[in-house]
Amino acid sequence: QSVLTQPPSVSGAPGQRVTISCTGSSSNIGAGYDVHWYQQLPGTAPKLLIYRNVNRPSGVPDRFSGSKSGTSASLAITGLQAEDEADYYCQSYDNSLSVVFGGGTKLTVL
């Protein structure tokens, strides 16, 4: 059971917009800790996608965007492409003195 809750799966057709939620609590996201997002393509290591809630590292397309409000955060992907099919993880920090991850969301491009 992950500290941060994500939907197990989401799907969308090419060109559509999808969002992935990440729900925490008052001891992590709600405590003001930043949320970061990672993309894990099949058979590869995770890759940083969004840091500090809304920022994209160099090279990440602006189709990917992040937001945070209260005890939750969201990752939005617009103009969905086949290459976006992957697992997505949110990450934050918890007052239990630990880095915490969401359980991951599998994105399927229909």
Q: Which is nearer to other proteins, 13 or 25 (CB)?
A: 25
CA separation for the pair 98, 81 (Å, rounded): 34
Taking the complex as a whole, how short is the minimal distance between the CB of residue 44 and other proteins, in angstroms? 8
CA separation for the pair 84, 23 (Å, rounded): 22
Q: Which is nearer to other proteins, 68 or 89 (CB)?
A: 89
Q: Confirm if 73 and 22 have CB atoms less than 8 A apart.
A: yes
Taking the complex as a whole, how short is the minimal distance between the CB of residue 52 and other proteins, in angstroms? 7
CA separation for the pair 66, 47 (Å, rounded): 15
Tell me which of 52, 54, 81, 110 binds other proteins, using CB under 8 A.
52
Q: Which is nearer to other proteins, 61 or 103 (CB)?
A: 103
Question: Which residue bears the tokens 């609590």?
Answer: 25
Instruction: Give the list of residues 6+ apart from residue 95 with CB closer than 8 angstroms, or none.
Output: 27, 28, 31
Tell me which of 33, 68, 72, 84 binds other proteins, using CB under 8 A.
33
Q: Which residues bind other proteins (CB under 8 A)?
A: 2, 33-34, 36, 38, 44-48, 51-52, 57, 89, 91, 93, 96-104
